[in-house]
Amino acid sequence: MKYPPALQMAIDRLSRLPTVGPKTAERFAFYLLRRPANEIQDLATALLDLHQNLTHCQRCCAIAAANPCSLCTDATRNTALLCVVAETKDMIALENSGQYQGRYHILNGTISAIQADNLDHLTIKQLLQQLRRPEIKELILAFNPDVEGETTALYLAKLLSTSNISITRLARGLPAGASLDYADPMTLSHALHNRSRIK
């Protein structure tokens, strides 16, 4: 026997979310069913807003409320520093460390060995565009301390080997295999402060 269509539809949709299987989706649907209608409305609005009220900053490629984003247009930031991260959430983690005053570039992923020859998803073109700004003196590579992060850092260092910009990376101190957005602000700020020079 099946659930009424509206309930079954909610279960089906919820079960498409990452790490949510049919049983969890069923639990979510019943939980939502018990909540007041206005709460569900708020949730639905928040989900719709993800598409309607967000954009990508054309300069740094971050997910943002405006294009260009507030960070790219903030005149108080140190424009000599550009920090490259894989995802917008890594930028947020570094911002929360309170130790970084420069600008960012979001690469939109990292390079894995499997798709090393297909880099179309990465915002490398936009990064090169950002690097045309003569005030940039240092590029900080801030990727997760894993194989993909390593591969990406080496790729970018090689790509930019002939530029005048010095390239640094976060200090090792982040636990291997950990991800940046899970590191505590103290660890991140230490990794940033003790960054090492690649070029």
**Cis status of the peptide bond prior to 18, with omega within 30 of 0:** no
Which one, 68 or 185, has the nearer CB to Zn ion?
A: 68
Which one, 57 or 84, has the nearer CB to Zn ion?
A: 57
Token pair 């002939």 in the structure block, residue: 162
Instruction: Assess contact for 100 and 168: CB atoms under 8 A.
Output: no
Q: Least distance to Zn ion from the beta carbon of 94, Å?
A: 14
Q: Least distance to Zn ion from the beta carbon of 122, Å?
A: 16
Which one, 105 or 190, has the nearer CB to Zn ion?
A: 105
- Contacts of residue 14, Cβ cutoff 8 Å, sequence gap at least 6: 20, 24, 25, 28, 29
Q: What is the CA radius of gyration of the chain?
A: 20
Which one, 11 or 61, has the nearer CB to Zn ion?
A: 61
Q: Least distance to Zn ion from the beta carbon of 56, Å?
A: 9
Measured from each CB, the residue nearest to Zn ion is: 57
Which one, 69 or 94, has the nearer CB to Zn ion?
A: 69
Q: Least distance to Zn ion from the beta carbon of 61, Å?
A: 7
- How many angstroms separate the CA atoms of 16 and 34, rounded? 21
Q: Least distance to Zn ion from the beta carbon of 123, Å?
A: 11
Within residues 57-86, the interface with Zn ion by CB under 5 A covers 57, 59-60, 69, 72
By the 10 Å C-beta count (0-12 exposed, 13-18 middle, 19+ buried), 143 is classed as buried
Residues that bind Zn ion (CB under 5 A): 57, 59-60, 69, 72
